[in-house]
Amino acid sequence: MKIENVDNNLKLLEKSFSGLNDINQYVQTSLTPVVRWSSIKKSWLYTLLHPNVKIRKQNDLEHSFAMVMLLINLVLKLRPHNPNLDTLLLLMAPADHEFGEAELGRDVCHLVKDKRDDNYEYLAFIRRFACLGDEAMVYHRQAFLLQFAGVEAKEQAKAWEIFSEADKDILRWLWENKFLEAYIFKYAERLEYILYALEQGRIFRNYVITEEVLRHHISDMRQACDLIPGWEEKVWTPNIHNLAMEIQRELIYKLPSKMVLSRN
């Protein structure tokens, strides 16, 4: 067989998988180049006052896989309190949620991201994953949008205004039927931020990031305790809360005031 025939047959075989091959290749290559937390590291104030402290670079692939494993373990911890959790949705959501950033080639920090960024990333994700077909996309749309569904009813109109009416219908369905999964995903991601920041403080003594993340997200963990059955008993216990508060208070008094940055 001529090499040209081999090449043509390889292309034909790849196309025969109806998008599975395209996505299989894409997930292995697209998330790695997107580096997270760069907004802090590149800050002129951080560079001036904190130039020699190291940080473990984290890309979107590492964050996404960490989120998958975190959700698996959270589901196991929380299942006795929430026996009807949609496990498939909770595993698809962390696997899907960063592919918009991969398509656009940049990370935007949670605290400064606006609704336009969210919509750009969602539309980019839809364009890329559409090759899987309409049946699969029903589930991928729900999984990607789960990260935006955990919004209190009084705030939904403003939070979702950037999305199309069809997407708002999905968000409303998620809120009505999967609100607990939406809350678990939302606060699991905040927990992953905390776990990463604790690692940077413990290993590299990068206390700027540790204090910054604890200051912003300890309150999220308290909210999770109020909203998710079992979170306080299994995930963010009173002992953990008190220790995190003590660390944050100690760091904010020890760090020079100019080193307490805003994540931007």
What's the pLDDT tens digit per position in 39-50?
Answer: 665 554 455 455
Q: What is the CATH number of domain 29-259?
A: 1.10.3210.10
| pLDDT range class, residue 139, cuts 50, 70, 90 | very high
At 203-261, the pLDDT tens digits run: 998 888 899 999 999 999 999 999 999 999 999 999 999 999 999 999 987 776 544 44
Model's pTM, two decimal places? 0.88
Integer Cα distance of 120 and 198 in angstroms:
31
Q: Which conformational region is residue 82 in: left (phi greater than 0), alpha (psi within -120 to 50 degrees), or beta?
A: beta
3-state secondary structure of 59: strand
